[in-house]
Structure 1
Amino acid sequence: SGHRVPAAALRLRHVTLLRRLLRRAERGRCVSHRGGSATAYWDSTHKAVLLKEGVLDPQGDAYGYYNDTLSSTGWGVLEIRAGYGQTAEPDDVTMFTAGYLEGFLTAPQIFDHYTNMYPQLIQNPKTLVAVKHFMAKQDEWSRAQVKRNTSDPLWIHTGLILAQLDGLQAGVTDWAKQHGRTFAVQFLNAVGDLLDLIPALVTGGKPGFSQYKAPPMGHCSALIKMLPGFENLLFAHSSWYTYAATMRIYKHWDFRLNEPHTATGKLSFSSYPGFLVSLDDFYLLGSSLMMTQTTNNVFNTSLYSYITHASLFSWQRVRLAHALASTGEQWAKTFSRYNSGTYNNQYMVVDVSKVNLGSSLEDGALTVVEQIPGLVEYSDQTQTLRRGYWPSYNVTFHRKVYDLSGYEQMWKEHGKDFSYDLCPRAKIFRRDQSSVSDLNSLKHIMRYNNYKSDPYSQGDPCKSICCRNDLREHQASPGGCYDTKVTDLHMAQKFVAEAVNGPTTDGGLPVFSWGPFNSTSHQGLPPKYNFSFVLMQPQLFHP
């Protein structure tokens, strides 16, 4: 099959049209939903991708596989290598073909995931109009900057990320045998950014404080643990969001790029269909960096006035920092440029090259980066890690960010849940992290939820490390902590991790099933979640 690169930007499409497109595609061809392998070749004469299904050809411009094992293990697995072909192609072609291959291999999952995520974020037609307008302007501005700034590595790599996004769209379109629309893949990649962009568009950045409600999604727990004799470093993350988002794909990418400022094109990360980022986040990078993240709230809605389309979304800046940074400080500085003020998170970047097991932690081993609209602040927190551990639980660390975000005000009005030192997860991590000594005990703390007996949980199934919002006595909803990823220093250097999909069953908590929550869109998702940890490691490339 072949796909010509679209000359003009394709327009927008709704979820109902996507469903229709999927049905047409399934009628028109026998497509296996079990994934498969394929190789993409660039036809430079016709500016088109030629695809061979069922073939893994290292001489191709991009080759890889998708194992659709979601229903059996909880995770699909995607691996793609690009830029190693017989013919040396420009970097933008490498990224386009990599995106194309991913779009083609995972198109059914992309349609399902969009179907499930759209109603989670867009409930109001007016919101949809505003979001589409903002995203179209941001896309137009970004592409104009790429054309204008041909010698700046940041904009060169922005162009490469956009080429990958265009390829993703083209691959989905070719799989469906119908012209697709760009909004679906733009929407999916910006899901994190939309958590702030939508309220910003609704409030317009007017002065004031958001009316606090327990956030239904976008919250996570993370732990970085240094063993007492520096014998090992442990690294873990548990995502909190709507359970509708559990269409999971673990991805391994190996892209060879010629751009001289490139730090790495190798990365392994937990992700989702159609996402060119992790979102969780949980990344192992070929630059010797590891990154994870938890989301912070912006209660002070006047900060939203800083949000402009003339910026780069967080998902784009994360990818840029991954591509260009070899140290935590470089990562922070790259990420800080063109701050969109959307998807405001605490990022933790570990530089493995500065960890000398059994000996020392060099300065720069842990860099903590926090973003709010108008400000990105970062600091070296290696000294904290030397003392044993760095926890993260959706309360900002840096004082200026804490105050500007409105956490100080929320603490005064609503109590210790908004205290960096005394919120429930801060206390639980402080109490229990000393028992973490290996991967098994790390898994245990990251899946921990003993809300019925733990005094720090106060009977609330979300005042724990791994929230179960579906178990609330009142106003239960299908959301909370739905995965955990763990690794250690030795594994990370080989791009190896273990991951589990689904809400925790710690201490005998019931397995989650969709039965009581059938009204929430969960197309293509498992009926219940009783999965174990899965070993994730690349098969096509090595460190």
Structure 2
Amino acid sequence: YHSKQAYLSVKKEGDVIKTILKPDTRYDAIINFQDKNVSHGYYQIIVNTSSKISNEQQAYTAGYAEGYMTSRLIYMYYENMLNYQKQLKLENGSYDWDPFYREYAKNQMQYINDNYEADKTDQFWIMAHLTLEWLSGLTAGYNANNPKRYHIVEDFYILNLIGDQKDLSYFIKKNIDQEQNHRCSVGIVITPDLRNLFVSHATWGSFYTNFIKIVKTHNFHFTGVRTTQQNVHFSSYPGFLYSYDDFYVVRNTANDQQLQLVITETTYNTFNQTAKEEFLDKQGHVVPTFIRVMIANWNCDSAASWLLDIQREISWTYNNNFLLVDYNLFKKAQEEADLNVRKQTLLTGKLLSSVEIVTGMTAETDETQNLIENQFVASLNSPRDEKLYNFSGYFDENLLEKDDLWSFYEGSRFCICKKMLPKVDSIEKIQEFIRYNNFLGEECAKNDSARVIAARYDLRTPEMTNRNLGYSGATDAKIIDLELMMQNQFMIIVGPTSGGNSQLKRFNFTEIEELYKEKGQLKPKPLGVHIILPEMWGTVCQYGDPEPSTAAVVCCIVIPFIAVGAAMIVWKILFDKKALKQKYAKVEELELMETETQDIQKNTKVKVAIEGQILQGEDEASNLE
């Protein structure tokens, strides 16, 4: 598991866990781990479970496999998060979560278990129960392979609550968290001829914690729910059940039909203190967003069913604007030669669905008409819906600050969207948009390196903006269009944006550490980050300076998730009754899996983007198994 690529098979027999560092389909779960950190800035895991075992055994062994195989990364990420949050300092100088979160997590896990026990036929509670089984497995797998720090399930539950904590912190601080920053940008574009559809997302987060990334694939076979096979691809972090990078490609199977749904989101704040007092449940008798998202992902057979689950048992924490793009419907529309017929097909079927959530209020809308008429829809951390915008306190916050920072339609990023998104007609152009930061030459940005699509808070100058700098900003970008979806791929770009027309300097960890020292705010070096970034982000990639007219890209690769389809086929072959009767030698079994995979994948290519140009790379698809 310290190599570039490794397998682990896990089998649970009673209370005994058996593992083998090979892909063995007689086991309950198989994980493939790939270390692409030096070359592309992320790790990758693919987890397959057997359809022959119970739901609980699938969830537990899938979690165990991930916990065991990524234990080193989980340890580093967990320590980084505690050092970054600094919630509760212990006598030995280390940090822990605030006691409130521990009590909240205990209550919430008990609430989920009680509801599952009360009705074991309810699909929502079945899936909620399985998320806890997954976390239990993750914890056991981690502890079995990491002697540095022992953890209990509660620890990783609180880690997964990190998005929800922003709202829950109200119970600790008793005031609204007035952070002067946003989190994430989304741009969705449809071409005028309705022949291509682009979805792009940039995660904004801490440069201290957000650079141990894992691209994950779940391929499960839970029963008793809407879906017969759960197939979800997403960028994420060690120890996380969900993305937290806010980008999912869902290809579940239900009624012998495969879904092709892309889900992305940006986070909303709630400045309305009265709403927090009224709607937040201090006892935790609700289901947090990170669990509801995965229930919706695993159990959806349509955008409509996804929207039902995300709004059930709502916690009013980690509130977001979720956007759902139905690529099955879009592909169906491509069968029509007439533009008007294509348009009507998309409007009738709801190509783009949205739900906006702030504490105490939701707004569910069909954004298809908006998308077709304006050629784009954006999500920018501020509600588009006027009622939500006013109720959540965004309007009042702008008045208080005498600024339009929290405005959607009057804000800097929407100003940029109106300029750039209608011109998008290629991967290169959507990539340029989602990595865009020309704050020195962009009138919309108001000389602020954070009022752009891909923020760099570290370059913000208080003299020019009257706002504080910070060591955060856009840490990645994810992109998909029709062609990539047809090829079972999506693109991920990792690293703070640099270069471009403003000639943004690359992010330098050593330089930032010196600034921390000057301010007396020295933090421990983030574990894991310096393994790939000895000093300055991007030096290991050895790419030249970006051309002035292009968006800067540090590391980028298109993730082929067709490899999962190959895994399913191989899995089916090896689990066939006739196949199981044959006495394969272990070497022969491995050779069979590799041969089948390579044959299925022989036409799949990996594309590497360097400085905004797509280059054809080597065929890595067989290695993704």
What letter is aligned with 2:216? K
Q: Please report how far the alpha carbon of residue 397 of structure 1 lies from its aligned counterpart in structure 2 after TM superposition.
A: 1.5
Q: Using the alignment, how far apart are the partners of 1:495 and 1:98 within structure 2?
A: 23
Q: Please report how far the alpha carbon of residue 124 of structure 1 lies from its aligned counterpart in structure 2 after TM superposition.
A: 4.2
When normalised by structure 2's length, the TM-score is: 0.77
Aligned residue number for residue 304 of structure 1: 276
Aligned residue number for residue 474 of structure 2: 481
Aligned pairs, number: 500
Q: Using the alignment, how far apart are the partners of 1:266 and 1:411 within structure 2?
A: 42
From 153, 156, 164, give the equivalent of 1:185. Answer: 156
Aligned residue number for residue 467 of structure 1: 455
Q: 8 Å contact 1:325–1:331 — kept in the other structure?
A: yes
1:66-465 alignment runs, 5 A limit: 66-84=33-51, 88-124=52-88, 128-176=98-146, 179-203=150-174, 210=176, 212-215=178-181, 219-244=183-208, 245-262=210-227, 264-286=229-251, 287-305=259-277, 306-308=279-281, 309-355=284-330, 356-357=333-334, 359-360=342-343, 361-362=346-347, 363-387=349-373, 388-413=375-400, 414-465=402-453
Q: Using the alignment, how far apart are the partners of 1:138 and 1:165 within structure 2?
A: 14
Q: Deviations over 1:216-244 (max 9, x none)?
A: xx600001110110111001100001112
Question: Structure 1 residues 343 and 264 mapped into 2: Cα distance closer, same or farther (>3 Å)?
Answer: farther
Aligned residue number for residue 483 of structure 2: 490
Q: Deviations over 1:376-415 (max 9, x none)?
A: 3211111111121111111112222211110121233333
Aligned residue number for residue 40 of structure 1: 10
Question: Structure 1 residues 263 and 192 mapped into 2: Cα distance closer, same or farther (>3 Å)?
Answer: farther
Q: 8 Å contact 1:411–1:418 — kept in the other structure?
A: yes
- SS of corresponding position for 1:135: helix
Q: 8 Å contact 2:227–2:301 — kept in the other structure?
A: no
- SS of corresponding position for 1:416: coil
What letter is aligned with 2:315? S
Question: Structure 1 residues 467 and 174 mapped into 2: Cα distance closer, same or farther (>3 Å)?
Answer: same
- Do structure 1's residue 513 and structure 2's residue 508 form an aligned pair? yes
Question: Structure 1 residues 147 and 249 mapped into 2: Cα distance closer, same or farther (>3 Å)?
Answer: same
- SS of corresponding position for 1:284: strand
Q: 8 Å contact 1:485–1:500 — kept in the other structure?
A: yes
From 524, 534, 557, give the equivalent of 1:534. Answer: 557
Q: CA RMSD in A?
A: 2.0
Aligned residue number for residue 522 of structure 1: 526
What letter is aligned with 1:514? F
Q: Please report how far the alpha carbon of residue 263 of structure 1 lies from its aligned counterpart in structure 2 after TM superposition.
A: 6.4
What letter is aligned with 1:401? L
Q: 8 Å contact 1:40–1:51 — kept in the other structure?
A: yes
Aligned residue number for residue 9 of structure 1: none
What letter is aligned with 2:16? A
Q: 8 Å contact 1:268–1:495 — kept in the other structure?
A: no
User: What residue ranges of structure 2 are gaps of 5+ in the alignment?
Assistant: 90-95, 252-258, 463-467, 514-521, 539-553, 569-625
Q: Using the alignment, how far apart are the partners of 2:48 and 2:186 within structure 1?
A: 29
Q: 8 Å contact 2:495–2:555 — kept in the other structure?
A: no
Q: 8 Å contact 1:127–1:202 — kept in the other structure?
A: no
Aligned residue number for residue 3 of structure 1: none
Query: Does 445-454 or 403-412 show the bigger shift?
Result: 403-412
Query: Does 179-188 or 244-253 show the bigger shift?
Result: 179-188
- SS of corresponding position for 1:541: helix
Q: Using the alignment, how far apart are the partners of 2:115 and 2:512 within structure 1?
A: 45
Q: Using the alignment, how far apart are the partners of 1:35 and 1:479 within structure 2?
A: 31
What letter is aligned with 1:214? Q
Q: 8 Å contact 2:415–2:444 — kept in the other structure?
A: yes
- SS of corresponding position for 1:59: coil
Q: Deviations over 1:23-77 (max 9, x none)?
A: xxxxxxxx7365621111222xx33321101x11233211121112223310111
Question: Structure 1 residues 199 and 264 mapped into 2: Cα distance closer, same or farther (>3 Å)?
Answer: farther
- SS of corresponding position for 2:19: strand
Q: 8 Å contact 1:498–1:533 — kept in the other structure?
A: yes
Q: 8 Å contact 2:232–2:298 — kept in the other structure?
A: no
Q: Deviations over 1:394-446 (max 9, x none)?
A: 11122222111101212333332222211000000011112211111111000
What letter is aligned with 1:116? N
Q: Deviations over 1:316-343 (max 9, x none)?
A: 0111111222222221121111111110
What letter is aligned with 2:526? H
What letter is aligned with 1:468? R
Q: Using the alignment, how far apart are the partners of 2:156 and 2:499 within structure 1?
A: 35
Q: 8 Å contact 2:509–2:537 — kept in the other structure?
A: no
Q: 8 Å contact 1:284–1:495 — kept in the other structure?
A: no
Q: Please report how far the alpha carbon of residue 264 of structure 1 lies from its aligned counterpart in structure 2 after TM superposition.
A: 4.5
Question: Structure 1 residues 397 and 140 mapped into 2: Cα distance closer, same or farther (>3 Å)?
Answer: same
Q: Please report how far the alpha carbon of residue 493 of structure 1 lies from its aligned counterpart in structure 2 after TM superposition.
A: 4.7
Q: 8 Å contact 1:270–1:278 — kept in the other structure?
A: yes
Q: Please report how far the alpha carbon of residue 494 of structure 1 lies from its aligned counterpart in structure 2 after TM superposition.
A: 4.7
Q: 8 Å contact 1:263–1:322 — kept in the other structure?
A: no
Q: 8 Å contact 1:80–1:253 — kept in the other structure?
A: yes
What letter is aligned with 1:312? V
What letter is aligned with 1:524? G
Q: Please report how far the alpha carbon of residue 156 of structure 1 lies from its aligned counterpart in structure 2 after TM superposition.
A: 0.7
Q: Using the alignment, how far apart are the partners of 2:480 and 2:120 within structure 1?
A: 38
Query: Does 191-200 or 444-453 show the bigger shift?
Result: 191-200
Aligned residue number for residue 19 of structure 2: 51
- SS of corresponding position for 1:445: helix
Which one has a bigger Cα radius of gyration?
2
Aligned residue number for residue 27 of structure 2: 60
What letter is aligned with 1:443? Q
Q: Using the alignment, how far apart are the partners of 1:327 and 1:141 within structure 2?
A: 28
Question: Structure 1 residues 182 and 421 mapped into 2: Cα distance closer, same or farther (>3 Å)?
Answer: same
Q: 8 Å contact 1:485–1:498 — kept in the other structure?
A: yes
Question: Structure 1 residues 332 and 540 mapped into 2: Cα distance closer, same or farther (>3 Å)?
Answer: closer
Q: 8 Å contact 1:122–1:128 — kept in the other structure?
A: no
Q: Deviations over 1:327-369 (max 9, x none)?
A: 2222112111111111011110112222223623134211111
Q: Using the alignment, how far apart are the partners of 2:100 and 2:86 within structure 1?
A: 11
Identity of matched residues, %: 24
Q: 8 Å contact 2:230–2:299 — kept in the other structure?
A: no
What letter is aligned with 1:274? G
Q: Please report how far the alpha carbon of residue 211 of structure 1 lies from its aligned counterpart in structure 2 after TM superposition.
A: 6.9
Q: Using the alignment, how far apart are the partners of 2:178 and 2:288 within structure 1?
A: 25
Q: 8 Å contact 1:33–1:108 — kept in the other structure?
A: no
- SS of corresponding position for 2:217: strand
When normalised by structure 1's length, the TM-score is: 0.88
What letter is aligned with 2:428? N
